[in-house]
Amino acid sequence: MITDAKLLTTGQAAKYCSVTPDTILKWIRSGFLPAHRTAGGHHRIDVRDLDQVLRPISLPQISPIKTVLKPTPRQRPFKYCWEFNGEGELLEECQNCAVYQMRAQRCYEVVRLAPEAGPLKLCCDSSCQDCDYYRVVHKQGVNVLVVSDDGQLTEALQKQAEEHEYNIEFTDCEYACSAAISSFRPDFAVVDCSLGSQLSQEICHHLNQDPRIPFVRVVLAASEGEFPTSCEKDIFARIQRPFSVQDIADCIEGASKKTSNEE
């Protein structure tokens, strides 16, 4: 029998999956997500069922995630530093490290933030340049997630992506976006307002708050005069649609220059 400790409310489940409560209810009503009813008629969701639907293997029920990757070493599966150092086992020193506790995607970014964030307990006392993990991961390229339901734009971006040194994935809905993050940790996420102003704002907010990608930079794309203003705190930059991969590259280059200046 499932105990209450393993059950989440629709609000908690939405936060867990980085989607809206309405999306959770849609999944329940469609039969995609199992749920239990309380005596008061409220839904309760087993966290194990949420983990199951978030697995990429469950995606045939929705539009497929389209990926554009160059056949280079950047395609190697991403590993966190604690996975790399422990060869699959969590080392004791890693458990006490700020990088693990933050679930930070790239430890060397946390090191850069350390002076501003105050004293952080890091288990690694060597420089990044002397680290085997850094030498492997920092060559894997920048991950970019594009969220758009504009098929014509997506097709054009896919063709352009072949000429750029980025790992790019395309998703066309909120659920596919959340599921993709489980295996593809984006450094940048481009949200296209073709999804609708309200939904685009919600996706921007969820991406910015998703604990799986604490350092993601969210870029909002909209037509001139149609940029939502209520999500400014959740976005890193804005670009005008229809946009190109070069527009995304300019954002990435701008972010790199900003980081270099701060260092």
- CATH 3.30.420.40: does it fit domain 7-54? no
| pLDDT value at residue 25 | 85
* Predicted local distance difference test score (pLDDT) of residue 87: 67
What is the structure's pLDDT at 221?
94
Residue 77 pLDDT: 52
Question: Residue 1's pLDDT is what?
Answer: 35
- Residue 72: pLDDT above 60? no
Q: What is the predicted pLDDT for the residue at 3?
A: 44
The mean per-residue pLDDT over the stretch 214-240 comes to 86
Catalogue the E-assigned strands of 6-99.
Answer: 7-8, 36-37, 43-46, 66-68
In this prediction, residue 71 carries a pLDDT of 37
pLDDT at 121: 67
Bridge-based pairing state of the strands 188-192 and 142-147: parallel
| CATH architecture entry for 143-254 | 3-Layer(aba) Sandwich (3.40)
Q: List every span in the chain annotated with CATH 1.10.1660.10.
A: 7-54
Torsion of CA 237, 240, 244, 250, to 10 degrees: -30
Q: Please, where in the chain does CATH 3.40.50.2300 lie? A: 143-254
Please give the Cα distance from 202 to 23 (Å, whole number).
11
Over the stretch 91-113, which tens digit does the pLDDT of each residue have? 888 888 888 777 676 777 776 66
**DSSP string for 194-257:** GG-HHHHHHHHHHHHH-TT-TT-EEEEEE-TT---STTGGG-SEEEESS--HHHHHHHHHHHHH
Which pLDDT score, from 0 to 100, does residue 133 have?
Answer: 78
